[in-house]
Structure 1
Amino acid sequence: MEKKNYKEVLNQITTFIFDVDGVLTNAGIQINTNGEMLRTMNTKDGYALKTAIEQGYNVCIISGGKNEGVRARLKGLGITDIYLGAHEKIEQLDEYFDIYNIKPENVLYMGDDIPDYPVMKIVGLPCCPQDAVKEIKEVATYISHKNGGKGCVRDVIEQVLKVQGKWMKSFSARLSD
C-alpha cells in the first residue's frame, strides 16, 4: 500500500498527541543515587507546544512513563490532558476523543516505539522521529528529520501551523503592539 503525502493532511489537523520517551525526550534515562529517573526535554519543542495551545489546538500527552516531573514540565507549558502510566494507549486515546469530540482524521500523533503502533494505525497523520523503531517508521506517514528529544515535536507542530497560517501569528501580533 502506498503512503499518502503527509502534506495533504496538514490543513485538517486540529489536535496534536505525543508520546514522551523517545519523542519529547531522547529515550535516555539518567538515574540519580536516590533512584529517581531524569529525562531531558528540548526547549524548542516546548516553545512549539505552548504556541500550538495559544493558537487553539488540542494538545495531549499519552505516555507509558509515570514520572511526575514530566507532568510538572508539561503542565508548565499549558498542557492539561496528560495521561501517564498508559500502557494500552488506545484506551486513553478513545477517552480523549470522547471528551473533546475529536475525529481521528484531525489528529497528528507522534510515537517512536511498539506501544504507539495501535494509535498510529487510526489517526489522520501518524508521525515519528528519525530514530524511531523500524515498525513505527513503516506505519508513519511522516518521519521527521529530527531525532526524539532533538526537535522532532517542533518540526511537526511548526509545519502544521505554517500551512494553516498560525506560526508566528501571536508573536507577530505582539511585535505590532
Structure 2
Amino acid sequence: MNKNYKEILNQITTFILDVDGVLTDSSVHVTPTGEMLRIMNIRDGFAIKAALESGYHVCIISGGNNEGVRIRLRNLGVTDIHLASPDKVETFKEYIELYHIQPEQVLYMGDDIPDYHVMQLVGLPVCPQDASPEIKAISKYVSHKNGGRGAVREVIEQVMKVQGKWHLYYNGKHD
C-alpha cells in the first residue's frame, strides 16, 4: 500500500470505473445466438448504490458495449455511463469538465492497457488484484480482490469509511 494512499482517500468525490475486468471478472459467456453475457458482483453493486446515495459521483467508462451492462448500472442509479468509448481520456476530460471535478478528486479503477493513460491523470489510480502488470505499476493501491469479485466494493467502502460516510450509510442515516 502506498504510504499516502489513506490521505488521498479524503479528497475523493468521484469514482470512475471500467467494466470488464473491474466490475466483471473479464469472462464473457457467449450464447449460441452470439450474445455476450457478463457476471457482476452484487456487493460491488451495493457499494455503487451507497456511494451514489451518499453524494459521490459515479461514472462508467468502458470500451465495451453491452445493453445488459447499461441496464444493470442504470438500475443501481448510475446515470453517467459511457460504453463503447473510443478514447477514455477524452471521455474523462469531458466528464470532469461537465461536473467541475478536479482530477485529484477522482478514484479511477481500471485493469488493463486501455485504462493506462486515463489512470495517469487522476488523483487515485487503483486496480483489482488481477490487473495487468502495467496497470499495477501505476496504481497507488492494488485491491486484495480480483475484478468482478468485490474489488469495487473494497475501494468504495474504504473511501466512505475514511470520510465517515460508510458508518452513516450502514446505520441507515444516509437520507
TM more than 0.5? yes
Counterpart of 1:168 in 2: which secondary structure? helix
- Per the alignment, residue 68 of structure 1 pairs with 67
Counterpart of 1:9 in 2: which secondary structure? helix
Amino acid in structure 1 at the alignment position of 2:150: G
When normalised by structure 1's length, the TM-score is 0.95
Name the CA distance, whole Å, in 2 between partners of 1:46 and 1:141.
23
* Superposition pairs of residues 1-177 of structure 1, within 5 angstroms: 5-173=4-172
- Offset at 1:4? 5.2
Q: Do the aligned partners of 1:127 and 1:142 also contact (CA within 8 Å) in 2?
A: yes
What runs of 5+ residues in structure 1 fail to find an aligned partner? none
1:17-52 Cα distance to aligned partner (Å, 9 max, x none)? 000000000000000011000000000000000000
Counterpart of 2:78 in 1: which secondary structure? coil
Matched residue count: 173
Name the CA distance, whole Å, in 2 between partners of 1:4 and 1:128.
17
Aligned-pair identity (%):
63
Name the CA distance, whole Å, in 2 between partners of 1:92 and 1:37.
24
Name the CA distance, whole Å, in 2 between partners of 1:4 and 1:106.
18
1:50-76 Cα distance to aligned partner (Å, 9 max, x none)? 000000000000000000100000000
Counterpart of 1:173 in 2: which secondary structure? coil
Counterpart of 2:166 in 1: which secondary structure? coil
Counterpart of 2:33 in 1: which secondary structure? coil
1:60-110 Cα distance to aligned partner (Å, 9 max, x none)? 000000001000000000000000001310011011011100100000000
When normalised by structure 2's length, the TM-score is 0.96
Name the CA distance, whole Å, in 2 between partners of 1:173 and 1:117.
37
- Offset at 1:8? 1.5
Name the CA distance, whole Å, in 2 between partners of 1:70 and 1:21.
10
Please identify runs of 4+ aligned residues in structure 1 that moved more than 2 A. none
